[in-house]
Amino acid sequence: MTVTLFIPCFVDALFPRAGISMVQILEGLGHKVAFPESISCCGQPPFNSGYWDEARTVAAKVLPQLANSEAIVIGSGSCGAMLKVFYPQLFENTPQATLAKQISDRTWEFSDFLVSKLGVTDLGAKFPHKVTFHDGCHGLRELGLKKSPRALLGKVNGLELVEMGEAETCCGFGGTFATKFPMISTAMGEVKCASATETKAEYIVSNDSSCLMHIQGLLSRQANPLKTIHLAEVLNLK
Amino acid sequence: MSEREKILGRIREALKVGAPHPHSHTHAHPSPTSPPSTPRKWLPKVGETYDEQLALFAKNAAELKADFQLFNSAAEARQGIAALRDKEKWQQVAGHSGDLTNAICPALNLPLLRTDKPYDVHALEACDAGISECDALIAQTGTVLVTNRSAGGRALSVLPPHHVVLARRDQLVADLPAAFALLQQRYATNYPSMISFITGPSRTGDIERILVLGAHGPKKLTIICF
Amino acid sequence: MSFVSQFKAQARVMAGDLRHRKIIRTALRNYEIVRDVRKASFQDWQGARQLAAETKWQAVNHLDQHLEQFTAKLESRGTKVHWASNAAQAREIVLKIVKDKKAKSVIKSKAMTSEEIHLNDALEHAGLNVVESDLGELIVQLRKEAPYHIVFPSMHLTRDEISELFQRELGSAATNDPEELTMIARRALRKKYLTADIGITGANFAIAETGMISITENEGNARLTAALPKTMISLIGIEKVLPRMEDLALFLPMLATMGTGQQLTCYNTLYSGPRQPGETDGPEEWHVVLLDNHRTELLADAEQRDALHCIRCGACLNVCPIFRNVGGHTYATTYSGPIGSVITPHLRGLQDWKHLSSASSLCGACTETCPVKIDLHHHLLQNRRNAAKQQPSFAEKTSFKLFAFAANRPALWNFGKKMARIFQPLQGLVKGTPVDPAKAWTQTRDLPQLAPESFKDWWRNRK
């Protein structure tokens, strides 16, 4: 099939390896990957701040570029939730309501796409390290993701997964929240880092780079040797 | 226009617009399709037989630190309450007239302050124990169901530091739905002004979440069942 | 200082107070363990939540009918029912009763509605002696501070702090044993119960069909407050209705499970009237005060109406990472945590209190835990939208307009990325200083570096 890859703005600019890994994995499975180059952002920043008109302005340009996609795959729980859960709300009672619903129905988060849609869990990956998984909140609670990332990690050669006590606790990023309420955001991140450190894992893995960006920022500042890595990157290593 | 009319008016105006029915807000937890109106199916399970229910009540009572004493006859129960009097060194007790209290309390040989007649609350405060009947024992939760009609008023079962409940074995009911059904059957046309579900002796966790018994209500709860 | 500045200042202090964070974390960890045992004992917890949500939907969406039935039943047995549109009216009603009775002393059991309308201050100004009987409420009353949590008013205090307080305020001996401290409070309150002129309670539920209120407590202080004083007043938010008495078979265990991790709270008591003919104790007069205080406005917001389904269990506070890190007092309002952040803009004003809805990462843990399935975190988002629509911030609206402009013009967006790549090293020079544009981030975190080759660059190059 032709899989349309939606690359979040922060993945494009800051963590391209996560996107590249997804392309290589999907092509490795025999699928064609399409990438609408002129999409910059899903519109979540203005949306989360309550400026829905401005969010709609951005999202309205996204919709037509995904209109003909067979399947839209996003390597981020938060952008995935934006398209899947919030676009239908954003375009309720507008001419694009139907299109938004159609796109929502065809949108998948990356790990969920592999496991639930393609029925694939073993990608022949090798990552001989001890890791712990951070459940990004949008993926966990808006999209219901819990099992798919773990099913995939379970098949990675040499990988040992240790769950942290605060796996499901918000890391504190929350988009603009991180800079509007930095003291709270930092406290929340400290709780996450402490819980991860307790597991004695070498890596924190997640399906959301925005969370990892915040967690890594704290780890580096604390000179904590724990490293962060996106799920797709782990699955693409042999 | 009275405040009542104003408030009701605002409510009616507001309700002209319907609110969405509760559903699953996220994909994580799909809703079950139209659950039944009785919660029995969702609440913790209770055994079907009397013996299972009695065992469950006893287990719950123990966890709650309520003293559940089971006897085979009124005579044994009289011995039991006398033993309790000796152990606790009661000098004055309070109670009310009733089939069970009349049968058991005389064994105490102590002055009994009656709270089902006009009484002095300071005299009640001086009592070591309050002895009452009950409407039911609820297996599911280890609860004693009382009303101010069956248990000597509002204060008897909560002011003295030791509450003793007299119950018959056949007063055991399975669960909360059964208890509410019993209340409806018994009192539907004229409810007592107080109905209380008592689950263990009084307690608090307000200091560092550490459990302490006897906050304001009774520190001790004994259930004498025969 | 504006409410939002105060909030941020207090949040900064509390987030940095590791001792406080540890106390709260320990208390809540103990709660979580027992809560999860209780949830697991349900045959189907999610089924129970759905039934509870639907029952509350019925109750609130037929509120007028239920309130009329509730009132009629109460009045038929001698209860006096009063209706208060706002806090001032509610206070007036209570003060009038107090004056009519020539009362000198009031004993109270826990009532968040009384906090909401600032009743204690009004009573004390009128010369009354007011005592909180719930141990946690008594503790914060003596400390002259607001309750920290709607279920655990004193969870932020250690036994040592409580011991010092009791020594100072009650003249008690020094002890930090929780049992002895509880006994000190018990003894101090005994006389108050026996001599108070008026007992004031709240209510957890108002049963429409049978005209009863239901009060949930562990200590027995509400039972005493409703048994001994000659006059009883109960203050109830109009949203507390449940249609039928047997609905409590579901709600009482759910409230206990989520509120305190108990199977059932120690005393769950239904009151259907003052002392009836033939009864030997209980209040001679019972007044029920129904409180609106902007609840009808929340009712009119159909999108957020389910916030009125709240049973005040406190579970959302307990799971909220914001609450856990800044604590209940930071919110500076009666109802804190997620439910407080949702309803306070409605109860006290959107523009003044919208910051509570912004101070959230929208993680959704609250919605997930709520026993009546209130869509809490989405309501926070809706409050943000409503606030922005009502009074957009010029700075924010402009920057998001520019953002949208750039996002829809790939050439401009790519140009922006190129510029950012050029300027990023310069940011490194001012990092951490007052002129650092990324100060909000870099104060505590390292900034991610822009990738030398973006994904789009890579994609274009491979073609």
Question: DSSP for C331-356?
Answer: G-SSS-HHHHHHHHHHHH-HHHHHHH
Cα C271 to Cα C236: distance, rounded to the nearest angstrom: 13
Residue C410 confidence (pLDDT): 87
CA distance A102 to B155: 64
Both tokens of C11, joined, read 């949040």
Q: How far is B175 from chain C (nearest CA, A)?
A: 9
Residue with tokens 């540890």: C22
Give contacts of A214 with chain C, Cβ < 8 Å.
445
- Residue pointed to by tokens 């401005």: A54
Report the C-alpha gap between C222 and C40 in whole angstroms: 30
CB contact under 8 A, B27 and A142: yes
Amino acid in the structure at residue B25? H
Are A54 and C440 a contacting pair at CB < 8 A?
no
- Residue B144: the pLDDT is 98
User: Residue C207 corresponds to which tokens in the numbers above?
Assistant: 């049963």
> A58 and C397: CB-CB below 8 Å?
no
Partner-chain contact B176 C248, CB within 8 Å: yes
Count of CB contacts below 8 A, A vs C? Answer: 184
Write down the pLDDT at residue C166. 96
Residues 362-381, chain C: which have Cβ within 8 Å of A?
362-365, 367-368, 381
Q: ipTM above 0.90? A: yes
SS3 A148: helix
B123-134 pLDDT per residue, tens: 999 999 999 999
Residue among C240, C238, C242 nearest C250 (CA): C242
Question: pLDDT band at residue B137, thresholds of 50, 70 and 90?
Answer: very high
Weakest mean pLDDT among A186-195, B32-41, B194-203, C2-11: B32-41
The continuous run of DSSP H or E covering C70 comes out as: helix C63-76
List all residues of chain C from 390 to 409 with a beta carbon under 8 Å from chain A.
Answer: 392, 396-397, 400-401, 403-404, 406-408
pLDDT tens across A22-54, in order?
A: 999 999 999 999 999 999 999 999 999 999 999
SS3 C238: helix
pLDDT at B25: 53
- Spatial separation of the C-alpha atoms in residues C364 and C362, rounded to whole Å: 5
Q: Are C286 and C73 in contact (CB under 8 A)?
A: no
> In chain B, whose CA is at the least distance from the CA of A146?
B28
The pLDDT-based confidence of B34 (bands split at 50, 70, 90) is low
DSSP assignments along C34-60, one per residue: HHHHHHHHSS-HHHHHHHHHHHHHHHH
- HSE (CB half, 13 Å, CA atoms) of B32? 16
CA distance C432 to A169: 28
Does the structure show a pLDDT above 60 at B27? Answer: no
Q: Is the pLDDT of residue B30 over 60?
A: no
Q: A-chain residues within 8 Å CB-CB of C322? A: 184, 188
List, run by run, the mean pLDDT of 10-residue segments along chain C (463 residues).
93 95 92 96 95 96 98 98 98 98 96 96 96 94 94 94 96 93 93 95 98 98 97 98 97 97 97 97 98 98 98 97 96 96 97 97 97 98 97 92 89 86 79 78 89 93 87
pLDDT attached to residue B28? 46
Q: Please, is C78 exposed, middle or buried when counting C-beta atoms within 10 Å of its C-beta (0-12, 13-18, 19+)?
A: middle
Nearest C-alpha neighbor of B139 from the set B203, B46, B70: B46
Q: What is the pLDDT of residue C363?
A: 97
**Closest approach of B26 to chain A, Cα-based (Å):** 5
pLDDT in the model for residue C421: 83
Nearest CA in chain B to A145: B28
Please name the member of C47, C83, C280 whose beta carbon is closest to the beta carbon of B41. Answer: C47
Picking from B128, B78, B67, the residue whose alpha carbon sits closest to that of residue B108 is: B78
pLDDT along chain A (238 residues), means of 10: 95 95 97 94 95 95 95 95 96 96 97 97 97 97 96 98 97 94 96 97 97 96 96 96
What is the pLDDT of chain B when averaged over all its residues? 93
pLDDT for C414: 86
Predicted confidence (pLDDT) at residue B29 exceeds the cutoff of 50 = no
Among the listed residues C70, C60, C125, the one whose alpha carbon sits nearest the alpha carbon of residue C92: C125
What is d(CA C252, CA C204) in angstroms, rounded to the nearest whole number?
Answer: 10
Residue of B nearest to C42 (CA): B44
